[in-house]
């Protein structure tokens, strides 16, 4: 009988504690708040507790192109930021562009290709040139040194996780196309651009579109030989 009485007292104490907690606390698990992460509007589910907003760590890291891992044996949370580049003026994300180079021994390695920033709009708009103009003219103005590549090799274009544009368009023009108003659009095979077999200098533009107000243009040149 004594055990039953003690158990009843404990249950009553728990009920009173929960009731008191509910009376003194305000907890909302369904609040959806607006965040601006790297210039882009995001909606994340948060917890509103007594006027303080708590955000799930994984939700934020995924939006910031970072990986998160919890190791139970170490009781440690690891957050690893991916390699993310941003245009210093518009704060727009910059793609990683690399030449897939294959050596005679069969080893494959990626040679990063430097980019010129074209016109971009993100948190702000920026145009480093007086007019849109052909990419070849921008290459000349910047005195950009083309990267030497082999015929029919691949250029790999990637964006950080969570920042891939909704639409990606690539155009290419050779020296023989100089004077033409528009460069020729070329198809992508996934994230790969197949270069032509014909030797020559090619100027390439990458147009990325996230929405109507957020878009970028990146430019580079290669010497196929």
Query: What pLDDT, in 10s, does the model give residues 105-136?
Result: 777 788 899 998 888 898 888 877 655 557 77
pLDDT at 11 over 70: no
Rounded distance, CA 7 to CA 10, Å? 5
pLDDT tens-digit map of 53-109:
777 777 777 666 677 787 888 878 877 766 677 777 788 888 999 998 877 777 778
Rounded distance, CA 56 to CA 61, Å? 9
Query: Which of 129, 147, 123, 158 has its CA nearest to residue 41?
Result: 123
Mean per-residue pLDDT, 13-20? 40
pLDDT at 187 over 70: yes
What are the tokens at 5?
């009485």
Query: Which of 66, 114, 67 has its CA nearest to residue 94?
Result: 114
Phi/psi of residue 138, nearest 5 degrees:
-65, -40
Phi/psi of residue 192, nearest 5 degrees:
-110, 140
What is the pLDDT, as a whole number, of residue 31?
Answer: 57
Tell how far CA 200 is from the center of its chain: 32
More confident residue, 194 or 39: 194
Return the sign of the alpha-carbon dihedral for residues 36, 39, 41, 45: negative
């Amino acid at each position: 009988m004594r055990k039953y009485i003690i158990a009843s007292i404990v249950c009553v104490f728990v009920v009173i504690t929960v009731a008191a907690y509910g009376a003194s606390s305000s907890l909302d698990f369904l609040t959806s708040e607006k965040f601006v992460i790297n210039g882009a509007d995001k909606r994340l589910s948060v917890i509103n507790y007594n006027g303080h907003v708590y955000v799930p760590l994984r939700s934020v890291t995924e939006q910031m192109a970072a990986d998160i891992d919890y190791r139970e044996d170490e009781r440690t949370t690891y957050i690893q930021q991916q390699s993310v580049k941003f245009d210093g003026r518009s704060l727009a994300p910059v793609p990683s562009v690399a030449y897939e180079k294959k050596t005679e021994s069969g080893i494959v390695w990626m040679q990063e290709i430097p980019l010129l920033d074209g016109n971009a709009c993100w948190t702000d708009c920026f145009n480093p040139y007086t007019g849109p103009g052909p990419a070849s003219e921008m290459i000349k103005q910047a005195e950009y040194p083309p990267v030497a590549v082999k015929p029919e090799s691949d250029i790999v274009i990637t964006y950080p996780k969570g920042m891939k544009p909704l639409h990606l368009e690539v155009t290419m023009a050779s020296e023989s196309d100089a004077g033409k108003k528009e460069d020729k659009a070329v198809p992508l095979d996934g994230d790969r651009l197949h270069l032509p077999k014909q030797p020559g200098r090619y100027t390439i533009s990458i147009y990325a579109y996230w929405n109507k107000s957020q878009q970028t243009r990146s430019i580079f040149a290669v010497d196929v030989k």
